[in-house]
Every structure is written in structure tokens, then in C-alpha cells.
Structure 1
Amino acid sequence: MTHTLEEQVIGFAGICQACRIVQQIARGQSVETSCWEASLKSILQTDPPDTESVYGSLRNLTIGLETVKAQMGHRNELRDPEVTRYIVGLLSLARRLNKRADMQAMLAERISQVKRQLTHFAITDEQIQASLAAIYSDIISPLGSRIQVTGDRSLLQQPANQNRVRAILLAGIRAAILWQQVGGKRLQLIFQRSKLLTQVEQCLSTL
């Protein structure tokens, strides 16, 4: 099945959005609620009708699209090595997950449990955050090298923030899998950078 460049940009923007939100939480910065919620909800989109539906709309990927533009643009001062490190870590973990059918089955079951919880709680409720964080800790973390999140140590030691970070990292894994499903390749980020940036600009112009 042939996928469009826009679909690939959506998937990669989802990865970048998760990474930027992790950074914002770790530093105690404010997070755009609609983007945060959309990233978390994307975890539960297991059978979307199309790629954009995973996030509801392109507007819910504003942080991600702007981060892609900064990371892949021609201005070196805008690139954030910390975000790059998170992206590389998520892509590596997603590749490992793709090789483990047993972990994928376990992941699907645990996500179904969270869907049932949502009949009683909002996606940003601390109990949902804890459930998503537990999925990341139990299924994703054991797959490979853990992603070392840097920031305000006092904030990162708080259980609620630890859960938020792990929950959004799980959203990053979901985005990485989506990106791979729509034909995203690591070499594409090097050799098709100009095309990707043009598509990102087109997406941002519609917001």
C-alpha cells in the first residue's frame, strides 16, 4: 500500500511532539493541553480510519510539526540535541517492539484495559496516567536501553511527573510505530529532508 509524505510527516511529528512534551514536563514548563491530550489519546487509537485521525486533526500536532521544523531545518541553533536523543531512543525501542509478537499482544491487552478505564476517568486523570506509565515500564522499558530523561531533578522525582513522562513516552512509541507503518525510514530523514520540510510547512500553513 502506498502512503503519502503527509502521512509520514504526521507520524514523525507525533514522535517529535511526545519528545518535546517530555522535555516540557521534565523542566516544569507549561504544556499545550490539546496537543498533550491528543498524544495520549493516540495510544488508544488502535484501528483509525486514516492517519490524521490518530491525532484528531493536524492542529493537535502543532507542537510536533514545529519541533520537526526546528530539528530538521537549516538553522543549527534551533536543533535540540536532547530532543534528538529522545527521538533516537523511541525509534530504537519501536523497532525492537516490532520484533516481539508476544510483547505486542500484551500491549494490545493492556491498552484495552485502559480503554475500559476511560468510561470513568479522563485521559489526563492521574489514574489513567499511572496505567499508561505502567504499560511503558512493564512492556517497553525491558526491550532495550532506557531513555534517560533530563530536567529538574526535584520534578522528576515526583511520582505524578514520572507517570506523565512515561505515559507520553508510550505515546511516542505509538507514533514511531505509526511512522513505520506509513513507510517512514531513518534514511529518509537524511536524504529527503527538504521534501519533508516542505510538507511540514504545508501542514503548518493549514493550521
Structure 2
Amino acid sequence: MPHDNLDRVIALAGIYQAVHCVIQIARHGTTDTDAMEPCIHSLFQVNAENVDAVFGEPGAVANGSRQIVSSLTGVPERNLELTRYVVLLMRLERTLSGRPDLLTRIGEGIEAASFKREHFALLHPTLLAHFADLYSETLSQLEPRIVVRGESSHLRNQDNQNRIRALLLAGVRAAMLWRQVGGSRWQILLKNKQILEDARRYINAH
């Protein structure tokens, strides 16, 4: 089925939201669970009814949409670190798309996580550790390698490491969705006025 601009901005907001959560954990050791849950939820959505449903309830990626607006307008501030991670995740997803062996492994890992999901809450440490291991086995072996910077005390914490890796996996999943609905990196450069309008429309609707 054809996809519209709103589908694309939802997928893009999914990447921004995952990255924003990563930065929050790396810097402060915590993040908003309401922002993190849609990212992890998306990992289980293999045959979602539509793009919005990938992230759960309508408005689930409002946080990511606000990050898009900030990045494009500089209000309240332009976060260059966030933009850099978003671009790296897009590049990583393109590398992954050429590795069917790793795509199969990720699919198997998500299927295994679905069985665990029957016994654990969405953000349970066991599930996040599962996704973190899956990221380490697959995406961390590819270029570009993503090095997350932040407070060393937070980055040394195993639970924080697991949350960050699970979110990076979710970010790549959103990047894959972005490409599947017709998104590309040049659109961010050449069609940012349209993206900004769509992000604001999404925020206002929710």
C-alpha cells in the first residue's frame, strides 16, 4: 500500500525518539519510560496493521516528533549529537540490509523475545538484556560502529548498557521502517520544510 508523508514522519520520529532515550540514559542514567516503551514495543511488531501501530498507541512518538522540530528549527536548541546518532543509525541499517544472515539472526532473536514477552513486562531487565545481546551479536559487528558518549558512571552500569543497546536496535528497526515507507537521508536535507510541517501536524494531533 502507498505511504504518505505522515507515515514517513512517524518512522523518522521513531529513530529520533530511540536516540533521545539513549542520550538521556548515557548522560543521566535514566529516561522517560513513556518515551522508551514505544521504541521497545516496535521490536515486536513484525506484521503491524499500519505505521502508527508499529509504535503502539496513537501519539506514541510525539517525543521523537518534538526532537525533529528542535533539530530543524533550533528551538529550544539544536542537538547535533542527536542528529549524528540518527544519521549513523540510518547508515547502519543500510549496511544491515546487505547482510541477510544477520537479518535472519535478528528475526530469530525477536521471535525468541516474543516467547519471553509472555512472562515479562515490556521494559523488564530480562527482555532488555535479550535485545542488548541480540544487538551485540549482530549490529555491533557492522560499520559504522556506534560509540555512545556520556557519563562514565552511567555507561558502566550493566542495566544502562542493556537499555542503550536495546534502544539502538529499536532505532535501526525504525530506520528500516523509514526506508520501507519511502524515506531517505536526502529528504532530511532537501525536504526538511515538509518534514517539519508533518512533525508539527503529528504533535498537534496528539
The two structures have a TM-score, normalised by structure 2, of: 0.96
How does 1:23-62 map onto structure 2 within 5 Å? 23-28=23-28, 30-62=30-62
**Residues 78/58 of structure 1: CA separation in 2 closer, same or farther (3 Å cut):** farther
1:129 aligns with 2:128: yes
Residue aligning to 2:12: 12
1:112, CA displacement in angstroms?
0.2
Alignment partner of 1:184: what SS?
Answer: coil
Amino acid at match of 2:25: I
CA distance in 2, matches of 1:64, 1:82: 15
**Is residue 90–residue 175 contact of structure 2 (8 Å, CA) maintained in 1?**
yes
CA distance in 2, matches of 1:186, 1:85: 12
Q: Give 5+ residue unaligned stretches, structure 2.
A: none
Q: Percent identity?
A: 35
**Is residue 65–residue 200 contact of structure 1 (8 Å, CA) maintained in 2?**
yes
Residue aligning to 1:64: 64
**Is residue 62–residue 202 contact of structure 2 (8 Å, CA) maintained in 1?**
no
**Is residue 93–residue 172 contact of structure 2 (8 Å, CA) maintained in 1?**
yes
CA distance in 1, matches of 2:107, 2:20: 25
Runs of 4+ in 1 over 6 A off after TM superposition: none
Residue aligning to 2:118: 119
1:123, CA displacement in angstroms?
1.5
1:72, CA displacement in angstroms?
1.5
CA distance in 2, matches of 1:24, 1:65: 16
Amino acid at match of 1:170: L
Alignment partner of 1:59: what SS?
Answer: coil
Higher mean displacement: 178-187 or 145-154: 145-154
Residue aligning to 2:140: 141
Residue aligning to 1:157: 156
Alignment partner of 1:24: what SS?
Answer: helix
**Is residue 58–residue 203 contact of structure 1 (8 Å, CA) maintained in 2?**
no
Residue aligning to 2:167: 168
Amino acid at match of 1:200: A
Alignment partner of 1:60: what SS?
Answer: coil
CA distance in 1, matches of 2:53, 2:150: 32
Say how many residue pairs are matched: 206
CA distance in 2, matches of 1:77, 1:183: 29
1:66, CA displacement in angstroms?
0.4
Higher mean displacement: 58-67 or 126-135: 58-67
CA distance in 2, matches of 1:91, 1:199: 20
Q: Give 5+ residue unaligned stretches, structure 1.
A: none
CA distance in 1, matches of 2:75, 2:31: 24
